[in-house]
């Protein structure tokens, strides 16, 4: 006998919907056996700005390295951070 699913409530905002799904198990609302895989090639990851205080000498050295690699220094910092996070994740296994 198929399970009766609960109706998905109406939401007044994306935040309200986000809060609901963060606290709710979707198995009561969605029949995942009927789900289909989709690809979203144009979906871009969201990003946020942060403020980071660095010593002037460190920032100057980063800019020199980035210039030698012909890339913006902010991109180089993001690359280094990403690589470090990946290596830390591997090291913790």
CA 61 distance to own-chain centroid: 29
**pLDDT, tens digit, 9 for 90 and up, residues 28-61:** 999 999 999 998 888 888 888 999 999 999 999 9
Identify the domain containing residue 60 by its residue range.
53-93
Q: Does some domain include residue 43?
A: no
Assess whether 1 and 27 both reside in one domain: yes
Q: Does some domain include residue 42?
A: no
Q: Tokens standing for 62?
A: 């980063």
What is the total count of domains within the chain? 2
Q: For the chain, first and last CA: distance in Å?
A: 42
Q: Does some domain include residue 21?
A: yes
Taking Cα atoms as reference points, which of 15, 19, 24 lies closest to residue 7?
Answer: 24
Single pTM value for the model: 0.53
Taking Cα atoms as reference points, which of 85, 90, 59, 91 lies closest to residue 74?
Answer: 59
Assess whether 84 and 57 both reside in one domain: yes
Q: Give the model's pLDDT for residue 40.
A: 86
pLDDT at 1 over 80: no
Taking Cα atoms as reference points, which of 46, 47, 72 lies closest to residue 59?
Answer: 72
């Amino acid at each position: 006998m198929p399970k009766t699913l609960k109706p998905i409530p109406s939401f007044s905002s994306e935040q309200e919907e986000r809060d609901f799904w963060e606290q709710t198990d979707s198995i009561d609302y969605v029949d995942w056996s009927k789900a289909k895989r989709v690809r979203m090639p144009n979906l871009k990851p969201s990003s946020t700005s942060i403020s980071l205080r660095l010593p002037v000498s460190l920032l100057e050295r980063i800019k020199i390295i980035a210039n030698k690699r012909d890339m913006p220094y902010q991109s180089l910092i993001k690359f280094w951070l990403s690589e470090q996070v990946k290596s830390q994740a591997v090291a913790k296994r």
